[in-house]
Amino acid sequence: MSLLEIVILLPLIAALAIWLGAPTRATSVGTAILNLLIVLSLVVQFKSASAGKAGFAFESARVVLENPAISFGVGADGVALILALLTTLVTLAAVWQISPEKPALYHIASLLIAGGALGAFLCTDIFFIYAFHELALIPTFLMIALHGHGDSDHRKAVAWKITIYLGAGSLVLLAGLAWLVLEYSGGGKLTFDLNALRAQAAATPLPVDKQGMIFFVLLLGFGTLVSLFPLHSWAAPAYATAPTPVAMLHSGVLKKFGLYGLLRIAMPLLPQGVQVPWVHQALLYMLIGNILVMGFVTINQKRLDDLLANSSVMHMGYIFLGLAAGTEIALRGAVLLMFAHGISIALLFSLVGRLRSQLGTLELSKLGGLGGHAPTFTVLFAFGAFASIGLPGLANFAGEVMVFIGSFTKFGTTEFGMLQWSVVIGLWGVVMSAVYMLRAYRSIFHGTAASGLFMTDTSFSQRVPLILLAATLLIVGCCPWLLLGLIKTDLAAGIATAAH
């Protein structure tokens, strides 16, 4: 059994063990630590494992069906490893902060979502990439409906909304993937293997207009899963209502699956798809919607959880911008931003969960002056909030700046078009982020506390995972090459050459 298979299966086995009666906290935290260590060791080994060969490292495959060819194939390249690292970091923080009195379902659901995300990131067969992502559907649904915040009707409504949205989105995605796979079937034998499909795509590329159509279907499918405007309306209420570990894992990790799918499946297999003018225009309009519309929506939020949930939808716009530009710098920036956003939003949701359980309210107008009560908490929150704004020195900045520069550099080879305007609007988005984040920060931590408002600071044991996340933001922000060095292959190869 390869290490990658162990990484994927370990959380699933741990979830089953907890269901069978294993000690909840010890099992899930132990699994999360073990998984993080394995992924770190893979990161260290990656350089030698990937030396001198293109494509995936640590590959292994087990055939599960011969015709159509489906195999449980695993493999990792730089992008997959970065996202696996993100998953294991957030999983550890998420299961760590679950308080002991919560039912076992909290741990089981977190582990299932984590296992599903790892499977989706580390598999090399489209069948399993798709299948693992769906693993999160039932746990997310149950956790929001049963243990979400708010009254029973509200959380059930929210749970239905996310389930139907994501269920329908993934069915559209399935149709798009089926189309893609069929177009590349060589000699009547279908294969779902990414390597084989890539070889096929390089040998016999599809006509450009067909690439555009399939890409658009995939964009709708994957886009729904990433809350691409206007398919985003499930996301904000779901994150605001979901129990803390689910909000952390879903917004921090699982949502990246849609972006990962575009980068891993749609763009390499349909290299000219995103450059087809009408697809490109549509994508740009949608991502401007994410940045501009959701930016204004976020500014208008009165509660901290709604604010974070909406900001998380808004920030997806930058990552889409990186994908839409398709230059090497922008794509690498998008990958970095996926990682940075995942860490920062998980950190913020974890802190918000603590605020909610201590204070019972998240209305910004009722909070204030907490900086004096809980200095460590405040500092940690500042890390998350400033990272989210894009303050230099923290990870998000590196990603955003690469996306903006990478997208803008197309100017010169092309005229000053939609893409460049999107960058301009995106820059204004950063200003909007600063407005709502700083305003929230001020109203929660500065000023004088309202009467009766009091919170205790985080204890040492509670701090460990939070400091881990904050430190990651700082380290990656100062030394982004630590992660970007993992991306060996040219992400833009084949994409940028498209006629435009």
Q: What are the two backbone dihedrals, phi and then psi, of residue 39, each rounded to the nearest 5 degrees?
A: -65, -40
CA-wise closest residue to 229 among 337, 299, 320: 320
| 188 in contact with another protein (CB under 8 A) | yes
Of 171 and 493, nearer to another protein (C-beta) is 171
Which of helix, strand or coil describes residue 329? helix
| 204 in contact with another protein (CB under 8 A) | no
CA-wise closest residue to 207 among 262, 264, 276: 276
Select the span of 177-185, 229-237, 309-317, 345-353 touching another protein (CB under 8 A): 177-185
Give one DSSP letter per residue of 165-198, joined into a string: HHHHHHHHHHHHHHHHHHHT-BTTB-B-BHHHHH
Using CB under 8 A, which of 17, 40, 105, 299 touches another protein? 105
Select the span of 155-163, 223-231, 273-281, 459-467 touching another protein (CB under 8 A): 155-163
What is the number of residues in the chain?
Answer: 500
Using CB under 8 A, which of 13, 175, 293, 449 touches another protein? 175
Query: According to DSSP H, which parts of 289-327 are helical?
Result: 294-299, 304-325
Longest dimension (CA), the chain: 74
Of 185 and 376, nearer to another protein (C-beta) is 185
| 411 in contact with another protein (CB under 8 A) | no
CB of 435 to another protein, least distance (A): 38
Positive or negative, the Cα torsion across 276, 282, 286, 289?
A: positive
Of 96 and 165, nearer to another protein (C-beta) is 165
Using CB under 8 A, which of 37, 44, 164, 493 touches another protein? 164
CB of 182 to another protein, least distance (A): 5
Of 37 and 164, nearer to another protein (C-beta) is 164
| Amino acid found at 83 | L
Using CB under 8 A, which of 37, 44, 65, 479 touches another protein? 65
**Rounded (10°) CA dihedral 412, 259, 216, 181:** 120
Of 105 and 282, nearer to another protein (C-beta) is 105
Q: x/- contact string, 116-135, with another protein (CB under 8 A)? A: -----------x--xxx-xx
Using CB under 8 A, which of 106, 141, 215, 404 touches another protein? 141
Using CB under 8 A, which of 23, 167, 230, 277 touches another protein? 167
Two tokens at 386? 């400033």
Distance between CA atoms of 427 and 390, rounded to whole angstroms? 11
Using CB under 8 A, which of 44, 54, 68, 302 touches another protein? 68
Two tokens at 331? 């794509």
Cα 204 to chain centroid distance, Å, stands at 32
Cβ atoms 71, 85 nearer than 8 A: no
Residues that bind another protein (CB under 8 A): 19, 63-68, 70, 72, 105, 127, 130-132, 134-135, 137-138, 141-142, 145-146, 156, 159-160, 163-164, 167-168, 171-172, 174-175, 178-179, 181-183, 185, 188-190
